[in-house]
Amino acid sequence: MSQQGRSYQFTNAICRVPAHSIIDGLRAEDTGTPSPDQFRSDHGLYIAALEKAGIEVEVLPALEEFPDSVFVEDPALCLPDLAVVLRPGAESREGEAQAIRPALETYYDTILTIEDGFVDGGDILMTDDSILVGLSARTNQAGFEELKGKLATHGHKVEKVDTPEGVLHFKTDCSLLDSSTILATYRLKDAACFSGFKVLEVPRGEETAANSIRVNDRVIVSQGFPKTAQMLEDAGYRVEIVPTQQAALVDGGPSCMSLRFAPNK
């Protein structure tokens, strides 16, 4: 695959069925308890959206011992040539990374492991040319340094960026729309790391919609943010709407619920 578009062109995805224990999932603010049954129903629609975008989805079984394990993006990073088993920054999520390793081994010969510090996948934004890592409450300097060092030996450029104060993950407030365009909230629209990009600002009041995902020819956007969806359509993007209200109750969104990749293997 060429460098152009490699950050949003995918052939495969890994998802995991929401556990009934999701009712005990982490949340920065308690706005309600998710319904496991409704979450599973919505998750099925999310998987269908990924499949409509033209990728093959492997759905792993629920892990009841890990309430937040539906958010498979946090414990791993998938690049074309290798995968990285990360180290989530929340104590209750220890063990999720090794639990997902067998699935990664199906697609990759090279799998690296973060052993020092903490790195959540929700803090990692892939562009065509570099890997942006936001320091946050879940990703620290030690984790960033180890990830940067290990990926550098494989020719990958890793840059440290700042996550806005009070924002859980870097990608809570931004996403990649194409090789030259970023979707971001007012908090990140002028960030130095996006100086070479065109930035579309999420309309005020719809900041949650900044966590969207570009998958091949579509942009998957959470339900309930009509201004953002219209803005993207007006800009020429093909928008796919998915219900993520249950995920939002435990600080989740579209990017969190899948590992998307196109392995070279």
Q: Where are the beta strands (DSSP E) in the chain?
A: 12-16, 56-60, 76-78, 83-85, 111-113, 124-126, 131-135, 158-162, 174-178, 181-184, 198-201, 213-215, 218-222, 239-242, 259-261
- Name the residue among 58, 57, 59, 66 with its Cα closest to residue 19: 66
* Burial class of residue 191, CB neighbours in 10 A (0-12, 13-18, 19+): buried
CA dihedral 109, 86, 199, 229 (to 10 degrees): 90
Candidate list 78, 156, 169, 174, residue with the active-site label: 169
Q: Which residues are annotated as a binding site for substrate?
A: 26, 68, 73-74, 93, 138, 250
Fill in the DSSP letter of residue 196: T
Candidate list 15, 78, 174, 256, residue with the active-site label: 256
* Residue 78 tokens, joined: 């998938």
Is residue 256 flagged as an active site residue? yes
Collapsing DSSP to helix, strand or coil, 45 comes out as helix
- Name the residues annotated as catalytic: 169, 256
